[in-house]
Structure 1
Amino acid sequence: MSSPESSTAPDASIPSDDASPGTRRALAVVVAIVFIDLLGFGVVIPILPFYVRSFGVSDVYIGLLAASYSLMQFVFAPILGRISDQRGRRPVLMLSLVGSVLAWTVFGLAGEVELVIGTTFAVATLFVSRMLAGAMGGNIATAQAYIADITPVERRAGALGLLGASFSLGFIFGPAIGGLMASEPVVTAARDVLPSFIPATRFSLPSFTAAAFSLVSLGSAFLFLREPERQRSPAGQATTTLISQFRDALSDDSLRGLVVAFFLVSVAFSGVQVMFIPYAADIYGYNETETALFLTYIGLLGTLNQGVVVGRLAKRYAEALLAVVGAICLAISLAVLPFSPNVGSLLPSISGPAWLSPELLVLLLVGALLSFGNGMLNVSLSTLVSASASSERQGNAFGVTQGSGSLGRTIGPPTMAVFYVLAYWSPFVAGAILLVPVVAILVTIVRRPRPTIS
């Protein structure tokens, strides 16, 4: 097992005395771009299941819609990762942001499509928009590779933790903004202000807001993002197919387990993510705004975990060990989450605000453990991937592992949606069970020395 010193990183603040101003500026720009883009993504999260239900279709379509995005991301993420190795990080980031602008705009028009040509075409519009967004969804893997380009190995955990914190910040403010945009007062005011040809509904306004955020992110990338200096992968030596990229990764002892772990974690967690909002609506009676408030709470905890806690723990402990702890915490929280009301009903009444019932208190505590485990696991896995790949193949390695995650997110949501229809608690318990082999894989990584990458 690698020593703590060899695998640690400073806090995710990165601007240290030995980091050049150019490095700090580049890191700040790419983190800001990802934050703005994820802010738009977070805006739509609280309304998406309600949007699907508004067309009168089964909850299974919620899972299928999520899977359509991930399937396209699975196909295109390794391709975009390879292109970023050959052609540059900046062009790929900008292309993905253009796709986000178009996708969210089309997504917000599905309600109008239903009025004109019917429900079938409206649902098809949702699928087209999510598939477009998935095909262009290589910005995360490319952003991770960008950070790997500009930071030394010993500081990468902190830098990737900072990127993870920008994710969480997007999920703090994004759902809150989405809940606000879907509220009746805002919708009413928008109808009075906007031109009649712009639809103003509790579903279209968050979607158009997400498109606007992606447009701002695109403008920021165009104005401020510069291509990092690095050793590029020669085009003639690049892996040319998706299958061969995965074959190479699975034949690499240092990457094989990580690829499998990304897949299993994604199957487990993506299904739970998609079905939590229907769970909150059905079991706790939450609407879009109330769901957005809970997601904002989870996002706030995620920011603290990934932006502060992970960086500090990475100073003292190896990434693989942190990943094991994160996977165990995540498994426990998923197993307990669907039974939060049952556990809360066993607790005595608590003094405090009238809205803070024992059932909600348990849900908040389980959510905190889930946020801690997920943040610890994701950042540690990303750092392990970075340490397992040579400098000229960072984009390829992240593309393959993110592609593996996308395959998991293709399988997870529809499978867990079917489970949810059969029994509301089953997706969460199934997710916890899937994390058991992930813990086993990570334990084997803890027990073996990690090769040093020059």
Structure 2
Amino acid sequence: MDDSHPTPAAKSSLVFVFLVVLIDMLGFGIIMPVLPKLITSITGDTLSGAAVYAGWLAFAYAAMQFVFGPIIGNLSDRFGRRPVLLGALGGYAIAYMLMGFSASILWLFAARIIAGVMGASFSTAYAYIADISPPEKRAQNFGLIGAAFGLGFIIGPAVGGILGEYGTRLPFFAAAALAALNLVFGFFMLKESHPPEKRRPFDIARANAVVALRGLHGQNKIVFWYATALTVWMTAHVVYPIIFAFYAMEAFGWSEWTVGMALACVGLGAAIVQGLLIRVLIPRIGERNAVIIAALSMAISSVFYVVAGPDQGWLIFLAIPVGSLQGLFQPSINGLMSNAVSDETQGELQGAVASLQSMASVIGPPLFAAVFAAFTVAGSIYYLPGAPFGLAGFVSLVALAIFLRGYALHCTSDEVEPPADAKTTAL
């Protein structure tokens, strides 16, 4: 595809892929302000106890992505991206409807399991972008998916906070309707990006993260380091969607509306960084420096969450713009990994990476929820609602160290061309 003169069909397909991710994140964002109230109303538990349930709900969602990410990625390599993306939207509509009608915590778990299977289609969305983007533009175009995440966190929490005033369940029905509408749009507008001549047979033996990454490691060992860094990073990053609402309500007594507006600010920052700023910064400073900035921004912003007292909720609105630069991390690494493997294995790469990221989401939510409960439950030795964010800031620095090691190997490897910014002076 000529990136400077995209065809109308290419434009409509890019819009659809953007909307697939947006709808999923919109549904996820909608539930964030109202989930604490929904869980406490169903279980009768405290915020500390409800946070533990939320952690395990996220665990169920991520576990499904871990299992199905490589399967769906490999299926898209065999049958094309279009049927996978359309099927995911139908599944989203069902999952959100089920959440809206949930009468018990088991209903919520069933809905999140379905949503987790459908969410595994993120790997196909990344593969679609790789299919239609020239190598030098992939990192920037991957930022479109990041922008969809950001917009989902602008619209979703804001809508959830507003609709939550009229009923805790209303936001879920709104998300189901949007997924159904996008399915209709995609059926008529989405064009297949993976031509038959580049497809390969589906092999169930390759359809898991361990085997897939082993094969990719054999093709290019650099991918293993980048994937590991991204997995550790995502372990830290999940603290926001899992803990933020519980933290804000516990530490500052915020309402669902205030939580929704704060999360909308988080989404706005992510959309600006990944939708606009990334296209300016990465060509100028390169992927390496972009990743360094991202990791440091997360570590610095986490300090605000830790030190903010009961009457210092305003500090969070300082932390949000500082932390928004962390949106540079994932698109930069995805661009490096995508350029390091063949065109025929883009779906396998993204499926394996999505599965590893889901592994991080399997580990992170119960971990951060347990830390939050331990530091907020009645009788705790030390009351510190921001403790999970402090832990996340430390983990982000570990991810940076792993990435820098992999990047050093990348610059000296004979298997791939050195990154464009290999000679850029370190920050």
TM-score range, shorter chain: 0.7 to 0.9
Which residue identity lines up with residue 163 of structure 2 in the other structure? Answer: M
Instruction: Specify the alignment match of 2:105 in structure 1.
Output: 123
Classify 1:218/1:21 alpha carbon distance in 2 versus 1 (closer, same or farther; 3 Å).
closer
Matches of 2:101 and 2:417, distance apart in 1:
51
Question: Unaligned 5+ residue runs, structure 1?
Answer: 1-13, 114-121, 188-201, 346-358
1:231-270 alignment, distance < 5 Å: 231-235=197-201, 240-242=206-208, 243-251=210-218, 252-270=220-238
- Per-residue CA deviation, residues 44-83 of structure 1 (Å, 9 max, x unaligned), is 2211222112222423111011111001111001110110
Instruction: Specify the alignment match of 1:444 in structure 2.
Output: 405
Instruction: Specify the alignment match of 1:212 in structure 2.
Output: 177
Instruction: Specify the alignment match of 1:191 in structure 2.
Output: none
Alpha-carbon distance, 1:444 to partner: 2.3
Instruction: Specify the alignment match of 1:391 in structure 2.
Output: 343
Instruction: Specify the alignment match of 1:166 in structure 2.
Output: 148
Deviates further, 394-403 or 236-245: 236-245
Instruction: Specify the alignment match of 2:391 in structure 1.
Output: 430
The 8 Å contact of residues 249 and 400 in structure 1, kept in 2 or not, is answered as no
Deviates further, 364-373 or 23-32: 23-32
Number of residue pairs aligned between Structure 1 and Structure 2: 397
Alpha-carbon distance, 1:244 to partner: 1.6
Instruction: Specify the alignment match of 2:65 in structure 1.
Output: 73
**SS of residue matched to 2:281:** helix
Instruction: Specify the alignment match of 1:40 in structure 2.
Output: 27
Matches of 2:105 and 2:356, distance apart in 1:
27
Matched, 1:175 2:175: no
Classify 1:336/1:360 alpha carbon distance in 2 versus 1 (closer, same or farther; 3 Å).
closer
- Per-residue CA deviation, residues 280-304 of structure 1 (Å, 9 max, x unaligned), is 0011111211100001111111111
1:287-326 alignment, distance < 5 Å: 287-326=255-294
Identify the match of residue 329 of structure 2 among 361, 365, 377: 377
Instruction: Specify the alignment match of 2:168 in structure 1.
Output: 203
Matches of 1:90 and 1:260, distance apart in 2:
29
Which residue identity lines up with residue 223 of structure 1 in the other structure? Answer: F
Classify 1:168/1:270 alpha carbon distance in 2 versus 1 (closer, same or farther; 3 Å).
same
Matches of 1:304 and 1:240, distance apart in 2:
37
Q: Which has the larger radius of gyration?
A: 1
Matches of 1:221 and 1:236, distance apart in 2:
24
Alpha-carbon distance, 1:19 to partner: 3.4
Alpha-carbon distance, 1:247 to partner: 2.9
Instruction: Specify the alignment match of 2:44 in structure 1.
Output: 56
Which residue identity lines up with residue 35 of structure 2 in the other structure? Answer: L
Instruction: Specify the alignment match of 2:308 in structure 1.
Output: 340
Classify 1:413/1:238 alpha carbon distance in 2 versus 1 (closer, same or farther; 3 Å).
closer
Deviates further, 235-244 or 63-72: 235-244
Which residue identity lines up with residue 173 of structure 1 in the other structure? Answer: I
Identify the match of residue 406 of structure 1 among 334, 358, 370: 358
Identify the match of residue 143 of structure 1 among 119, 125, 128: 125
Alpha-carbon distance, 1:239 to partner: 5.2
**SS of residue matched to 2:44:** coil
Alignment TM-score, normalising by the size of structure 2: 0.87
Matches of 2:240 and 2:9, distance apart in 1:
40
Deviates further, 28-37 or 158-167: 28-37
**SS of residue matched to 1:235:** coil
Alpha-carbon distance, 1:164 to partner: 1.4
Deviates further, 298-307 or 328-337: 328-337
The 8 Å contact of residues 97 and 214 in structure 1, kept in 2 or not, is answered as yes
Deviates further, 249-258 or 78-87: 249-258
The 8 Å contact of residues 216 and 341 in structure 2, kept in 1 or not, is answered as no
Matched, 1:225 2:190: yes
Which residue identity lines up with residue 324 of structure 2 in the other structure? Answer: S
Matches of 2:149 and 2:57, distance apart in 1:
22
The 8 Å contact of residues 321 and 446 in structure 1, kept in 2 or not, is answered as no
Alpha-carbon distance, 1:229 to partner: 4.3
The 8 Å contact of residues 108 and 204 in structure 1, kept in 2 or not, is answered as yes
Alpha-carbon distance, 1:362 to partner: 2.1
Alignment TM-score, normalising by the size of structure 1: 0.82
Which residue identity lines up with residue 138 of structure 2 in the other structure? Answer: R
- Per-residue CA deviation, residues 311-337 of structure 1 (Å, 9 max, x unaligned), is 101111221321122112112212332
Alpha-carbon distance, 1:306 to partner: 0.6
Alpha-carbon distance, 1:235 to partner: 0.4
Deviates further, 414-423 or 258-267: 258-267
Classify 1:125/1:32 alpha carbon distance in 2 versus 1 (closer, same or farther; 3 Å).
closer
Classify 1:237/1:360 alpha carbon distance in 2 versus 1 (closer, same or farther; 3 Å).
closer
**SS of residue matched to 1:203:** coil
Alpha-carbon distance, 1:425 to partner: 2.6
- How much identity, in percent, do the aligned residues show? 31
Question: Unaligned 5+ residue runs, structure 2?
Answer: 376-384, 419-427
1:9-20 alignment, distance < 5 Å: 17-20=4-7
Classify 1:126/1:93 alpha carbon distance in 2 versus 1 (closer, same or farther; 3 Å).
same
The 8 Å contact of residues 20 and 89 in structure 2, kept in 1 or not, is answered as no
Instruction: Specify the alignment match of 1:351 in structure 2.
Output: none
Matched, 1:99 2:103: no
Alpha-carbon distance, 1:101 to partner: 0.8
Deviates further, 69-78 or 253-262: 253-262
